[in-house]
């Protein structure tokens, strides 16, 4: 069966699944492989649950006219997604960056949905599997597809661009994330910039934060660009009005008051405003979309609990986002202030240095109490309280519950520091 023929079958059964636990009747099941699983072994289960077709790459599982044997199930999924992306011709916006991708994606989706039929990456399904799944969710009615692209090594964004073939793109920032895989900060810039490289090589349009020196320098001579700036009138002016705790900004004499904390969320809001401008969404609708957006899933949430005002930012962390969160928390009103910081992952040989830097910075900012959690933070040289694991912190908090405070909780996803909430 060719990709064209498979696509015709997909149009009749327009839902794909890679996990039999989530499979619905008539789904097309792709038997993907990973380090700890082999989807081929679940092909018979998928068909028993009502899958219309099981795409496999091990001949031992080719037992029915409802199993399609291919050379590589993952590559077939990617090829189908690329074919489908070009079938309906929806305009594709690609997003990548070290921090803020998902929040930015949701803000842009909220704004553009005011005028267009828009789909966006679900959650953070932004890798070599998630990007194809997003593209396959495009329908005949879809006008704009917002595709989030994550990466932790070189050439990954370039590869995802070949699948998605974006018409537009934006890089949120270049931060100290996935340093181990990218090979340092210079590697992060090179790897994330693969999105702009693809767009420029294919004469496509780019969006940029013109106040980011790296972006502005790279795109300075490129004609097909749209940028925002707080001071450079060559670009669309958007002014930062403050964040205590929520970000406020101004564009075209319209003040927008978001429900996002932290000055670091200003650029995430600003690019949504800029894209609204480019795609002719009325500024009043843009204002409404941003002001109505409420962050979820442990991303910069403000929670009032048992008298505490809690900034929960425990979805992920790297040195760049950690520093921004601490600086923003310092500028917030409310006392006493307590900080819980969890280990930052994927930093490779720089881990000890980066954790020491964050510990020193937190100490200098002078918060009332600072708790450092995780093996890396437990190894820093500091007078701050450190805990080698969440369990040791849990035991401590059972005996030392804090009084009513303003609290920041920040750490990498693997630390799952939202578990602190029930202990306060």
Q: Per-residue pLDDT for 177 more than 60?
A: no
**What would the mean pLDDT of 367-387 be, rounded to a whole number?**
95
Average pLDDT, the chain: 92
Contact 34, 63 (CB under 8 A): no
Pairing verdict, β 239-243 and 246-251: antiparallel
Measure the N-to-C terminal CA separation of the chain; round to a whole number of Å.
Answer: 58
pLDDT score of 124: 76
CATH number given to 3-72: 3.40.1390.10
**Upstream peptide bond of 245 is cis (omega within 30 degrees of 0):** yes
pLDDT in tens, 17-38: 999 999 999 999 999 998 888 9
Percent of the chain topping pLDDT 70: 96
Q: Per-residue pLDDT for 321 more than 60?
A: yes
Angle between helices 266-278 and 283-292 (to 10 degrees): 150
pLDDT in tens, 71-99: 999 999 999 999 999 999 899 999 998 78
pLDDT score of 142: 98
**What would the mean pLDDT of 337-361 be, rounded to a whole number?**
93
- The two three-digit tokens of residue 236, written as one number: 């669309």
**What's the rounded Cα separation, in Å, for the pair 272 and 127?**
23
pLDDT in tens, 231-247: 999 999 999 999 877 89
pLDDT score of 180: 57
Q: Per-residue pLDDT for 179 more than 70?
A: no
Q: Per-residue pLDDT for 313 more than 70?
A: yes
Torsion angle of the four alpha carbons 136, 140, 145, 147, in this order, in degrees rounded to the nearest 10: 10
CATH superfamily of 301-423: Mur ligase, C-terminal domain (3.90.190.20)
The continuous run of DSSP H or E covering 284 comes out as: helix 283-292
Res. 298 pLDDT band, cuts 50 70 90: low
DSSP string covering 254-267: EEEEEEEESGGGHH
Q: Per-residue pLDDT for 332 more than 60?
A: yes
**What's the rounded Cα separation, in Å, for the pair 411 and 212?**
25
CATH number given to 89-292: 3.40.1190.10
Residue extents of the structural domains in the chain: 3-72, 89-292, 301-423
Length of the chain: 424
pLDDT score of 257: 96
Contact 64, 50 (CB under 8 A): no
């Amino acid at each position: 069966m060719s990709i064209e023929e498979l696509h015709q079958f997909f149009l009749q059964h327009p839902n794909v699944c890679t996990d039999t636990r989530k499979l619905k009747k008539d789904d097309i099941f792709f038997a993907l492989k990973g380090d700890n699983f082999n989807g081929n072994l679940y092909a018979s289960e998928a068909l028993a649950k009502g899958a219309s077709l099981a795409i496999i790459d091990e001949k031992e599982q080719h037992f029915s006219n409802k199993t399609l044997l291919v050379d590589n199930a993952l590559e077939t999924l990617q090829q189908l997604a690329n074919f489908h992306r070009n079938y309906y011709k929806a305009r594709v916006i690609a997003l990548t960056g070290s921090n803020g991708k998902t929040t930015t994606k949701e803000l842009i989706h909220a704004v553009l949905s005011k005028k267009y039929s828009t789909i966006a990456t679900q959650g953070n399904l932004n890798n070599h599997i998630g990007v194809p799944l997003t593209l396959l969710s495009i329908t005949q009615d879809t006008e704009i597809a917002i595709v989030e692209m994550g990466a932790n090594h070189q050439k990954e964004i370039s590869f995802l661009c070949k699948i998605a073939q974006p018409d537009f793109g934006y890089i949120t920032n270049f931060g100290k994330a996935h340093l181990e895989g990218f090979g340092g900060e210079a590697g992060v810039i090179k790897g994330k910039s693969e999105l702009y490289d693809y767009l420029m090589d294919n004469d496509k349009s780019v969006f940029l934060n013109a106040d980011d020196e790296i972006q502005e320098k790279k795109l300075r001579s490129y004609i097909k660009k749209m940028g925002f700036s707080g001071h450079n009138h060559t670009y669309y002016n958007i002014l930062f009005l403050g964040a205590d705790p929520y970000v406020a900004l101004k564009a075209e004499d319209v003040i927008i008051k978001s429900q996002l904390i932290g000055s670091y969320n200003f650029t995430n809001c600003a690019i949504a405003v800029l894209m609204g401008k480019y795609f002719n969404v009325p500024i009043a609708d843009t204002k409404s979309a941003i002001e109505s957006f409420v962050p979820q899933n442990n991303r910069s949430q403000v929670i009032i609990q048992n008298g505490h005002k809690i900034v929960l930012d425990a979805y992920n962390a790297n040195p760049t986002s950690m520093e921004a969160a601490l600086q923003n928390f310092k500028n917030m009103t409310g006392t006493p202030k307590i900080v819980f910081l969890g280990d930052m992952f994927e930093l490779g040989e720089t881990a000890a240095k980066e954790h020491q830097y964050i510990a020193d910075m937190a100490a200098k900012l002078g918060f009332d109490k600072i708790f450092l959690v995780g093996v890396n933070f437990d190894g820093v040289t500091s007078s701050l309280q450190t805990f080698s694991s969440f369990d040791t912190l849990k035991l401590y908090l059972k005996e030392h519950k804090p009084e009513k405070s303003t609290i920041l909780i920040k750490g990498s996803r693997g630390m799952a520091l939202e578990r602190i909430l029930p202990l306060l």
